[in-house]
Structure 1
Amino acid sequence: MLLKRSLGEKIFDSGNAALMVALSVITLYPLLYVLFASLSAPEFVVQNRGIILYPHGFTVEAYKMVFNNPNIVSAFGNTLFYVAAGTALNIILTALGAYGLSRRNVMLKNLIMFLIVFTMFFEGGLIPLYLTIKNIGMLDSRLSLIVPTAISAFNLIIMRTAFQAVPESLEESARIDGAGDWTILFRVVLPLSMPVVAVMLLFYGVSHWNAWFYATIFLQDRDLFPLQLILREILISNDTSSMAAGVSSSDQMTVGETIKYATIIVATAPILLLYPFLQKYFVKGVMIGAIKE
C-alpha cells in the first residue's frame, strides 16, 4: 500500500522538478542558440539582439562553407587521429600502471603512489616541458600532442581503485589455471572493470578533443593543427573570409556570423553524440572510483 504524501512533500517535489527544469534550460539554451543561429539566415542573425527559439529562414549554407574550407577538413581529420591514437595510448598505459599498483605484493607500491600523487600538486612548468619535447625531437610533430599526456595521475588513481575492487579469489583461480599477469589483466580484470574503462574513454577522449593549448606551443605546421585550434583562430581573429570566398566582400561580414556558429557546432557535436553511448557506464564508473579506496 502506497503511503499518501503530505502537502509539504508535494510542494518540495514540485519545487525540485521546477528547479531541475530551470537548470536544464539554462544549461542547454546556449548550445541551442548557437545551433539555431547556425541554421538561420545570415541577415536575421546579424540584426537579432534577442533570444532565438528556432531557425529563422532555415539554411545550411554556413555548414557547406565550413566543410569547403580545407583547413577545417584537415583539422577535423587531425583531431580524429589525436583522439583515437591518444585515447588508445592513454587507456593502455593507464591500465598497465593501475594493474601493477593495485596488486598487493608489489614492492614500493606506496612510495610510487606518493610520487604519482605528488605530481598532481607540483609540476615542472611549461618551459621545462617545452625543452624536453624539443630535445627528444618531438617538436612540431603529432607525438607532441599525444605522448606528454599519455597518463593522467587522477585517472590512474580512479582505475587503480576500480581494479582493487576485483575479488582476489578470481586472480587466484586464474593463476591456478596457469594464467599470467597479462592474461589476468586482459581476460579477468579489464572485462570486470568496463564501467571505469568507459569513464576513462570519455575523460581522455574529451580531453584530446578539446585540446588546443599544447598545439599552440608545440606545433607550427598548420597541416598538423587540431580542430579546436582552427576554431580558436576563427573566433579570436574574427576572420571567416577563407570560408566565404564565393561571397561578395560586402556580405562576408554578414555570412561570417553564421559561419562562426556553424564552426562551433561542428567542433562540439561529435563529442556530445558520444556521451549517450557511454552514459550507462558513466555514473557507475565514477562512483567506483569515488567511494572505494
Structure 2
Amino acid sequence: MIARSRGDKIFDTCNIIFLCCLMLATLYPFLYVLFASVSVPSELVKHTGILWRPQGFFLDGYKIVLKNPMIVSGYKNTLFYVVVGTILNVFFTALFAFALSRRDLYWKKHMMIMVVITMFFSGGMIPGYILVKELGMLDTRWSLIIPGLIGTWNLIIMRTSFQSIPYELEEAAKIDGASDFRIFGQIILPLSVPLLAVMMLFYGVGHWNAWSGALIFLRDRELFPLQLILREILINNDTAQTTLSAASSDPFLGEVVKYATIIVATVPILVLYPFIQKYFTQGILVGALKG
C-alpha cells in the first residue's frame, strides 16, 4: 500500500466533486426532457425553475407520438439511412484507407494531401446541391448517403490504424498466394474490429442525427428522416403541432408531445451505445498509435 498524503486526498475529493457536478450538468438536460415528457401538461406549464421530478404522471404524449404516421415513417426512413449508410460508409472508408496504407502505392503522399484538403475546403451548399441534382439523386434516399460516403477524419484514423498492423503478416500472406482483397478481408479487418465498431458508432450517430441534408435534398415527405419530422414539431409549431394535439382537449398537450418526441428520437442511440462502449476507447487508441 502506498501512503497517500493529505494533498492527494484533497485533490481526489475535489476531483470527484468536480466530476459529479459535470455529470449532473450533462445528465440534467436529458432528465428534464424525460420528466417533462411524462408530466401533466397543465402542471408542466405552471412549473418554473429546475424540474427535479415529473409534474404528475401522463403518458398520452407518447401515445400520440407513436400513433402519428409521420413519426413511424420517419423511423423507418432513419433506420434505412443508418443501417445502409453506415455499412457503405464503413466499407468504402476501410477500402480507401487500406489502399492509402500500402507501402508501394504510387502518389500516396499526394493523394493524402488531396484528402486532407477536403477537411478545410469544400464547394459549399449550392455546388453540392447542383452536383446532387445533376447526378439524378435529388429527392432520393441516396442523396443522404452518397455525398458523405467517406469522412475524411475517419479515413485518416483508419489509415493510421492499418499502418500500425505488422507488415510481416501481409508478407506471409502474400508468400502463401493471398491477393490484396484477401489480405484486406481476412487479416486487416479482423484485426481492426474495435476500430470498425467506433467507425460504425461515428457514422451511425451522424446518420441518426442528420437533418440538414434532408432539408436541402428531399421534397417527398415519405422520405423524411425522423430528425426532420422532429424539427417540424419543435420549430414549425403549427400544422404538425395541431395534428398531434387533436386527440386531446388539453391546450397544453403540445408541450408534452414535443418532449415525448425528443425521447422517442433519442432512446435508440442511448440503448445502442453501452453495447459498443468497450470498443470505443480501444478503437480510438489503436487509431492514434502511429502518425
TM > 0.5 between the two? yes
Q: Partner of 1:39 in structure 2?
A: 38
4+ aligned runs moved over 4 Å, structure 1: none
Q: Partner of 2:260 in structure 1?
A: 262
CA distance in 2, matches of 1:142, 1:246: 32
Mapped pair 1:242 → 2:238: no
Q: Partner of 2:88 in structure 1?
A: 89
CA distance in 1, matches of 2:125, 2:93: 23
Shift of residue 182, structure 1, vs aligned partner: 1.2
Answer whether contact 1:162 1:289 (CA < 8 A) is retained. Answer: yes
Q: Partner of 2:203 in structure 1?
A: 204
Shift of residue 75, structure 1, vs aligned partner: 0.6
Q: What's the TM-score once normalised by structure 1's chain length?
A: 0.96
Q: Partner of 1:3 in structure 2?
A: 2
Answer whether contact 2:132 2:138 (CA < 8 A) is retained. Answer: yes
Segments of structure 1 that go 5 or more residues without pairing to the other structure are: none
Deviates more, 1:38-47 or 1:84-93: 38-47
Segments of structure 2 that go 5 or more residues without pairing to the other structure are: none
Deviates more, 1:212-221 or 1:175-184: 175-184
**Alignment map for 1:171-182 (pairs within 5 Å):** 171-182=170-181
SS at match of 2:56: coil
CA distance in 2, matches of 1:56, 1:180: 64
Answer whether contact 1:68 1:243 (CA < 8 A) is retained. Answer: no
Answer whether contact 1:39 1:58 (CA < 8 A) is retained. Answer: yes
Q: For residues 74-104 of structure 1, what are the alpha-carbon distances to aligned partners after superposition, in whole Å with 9 as ceiling and x for unaligned?
A: 0111001000010011011001000000111
Shift of residue 263, structure 1, vs aligned partner: 0.5
CA distance in 2, matches of 1:242, 1:52: 27
Identity score, percent: 57
Answer whether contact 1:130 1:218 (CA < 8 A) is retained. Answer: yes
Shift of residue 160, structure 1, vs aligned partner: 0.5
Mapped pair 1:286 → 2:284: yes
Shift of residue 156, structure 1, vs aligned partner: 0.4
Q: For residues 97-143 of structure 1, what are the alpha-carbon distances to aligned partners after superposition, in whole Å with 9 as ceiling and x for unaligned?
A: 00000111111111111100011111111111111111111000001
CA distance in 2, matches of 1:183, 1:58: 58
Shift of residue 272, structure 1, vs aligned partner: 1.6
Residue 259 of structure 1 aligns to which amino acid in structure 2?
V
What is the aligned length?
Answer: 289
Residue 44 of structure 2 aligns to which amino acid in structure 1?
V
Shift of residue 233, structure 1, vs aligned partner: 1.1
Shift of residue 267, structure 1, vs aligned partner: 1.1
CA distance in 2, matches of 1:177, 1:49: 72
CA distance in 2, matches of 1:104, 1:290: 19
Shift of residue 174, structure 1, vs aligned partner: 1.4
Q: What's the TM-score once normalised by structure 2's chain length?
A: 0.97
**Alignment map for 1:122-137 (pairs within 5 Å):** 122-137=121-136
Q: Partner of 2:57 in structure 1?
A: 58
Residue 256 of structure 1 aligns to which amino acid in structure 2?
G
Deviates more, 1:175-184 or 1:124-133: 175-184
Shift of residue 153, structure 1, vs aligned partner: 0.8
Q: For residues 249-277 of structure 1, what are the alpha-carbon distances to aligned partners after superposition, in whole Å with 9 as ceiling and x for unaligned?
A: xx23x111110000011111111211111
**Alignment map for 1:121-160 (pairs within 5 Å):** 121-160=120-159
Q: Partner of 1:118 in structure 2?
A: 117
CA distance in 2, matches of 1:25, 1:274: 22
**Alignment map for 1:210-249 (pairs within 5 Å):** 210-239=209-238, 240-248=241-249
Residue 201 of structure 2 aligns to which amino acid in structure 1?
L
Deviates more, 1:48-57 or 1:130-139: 48-57
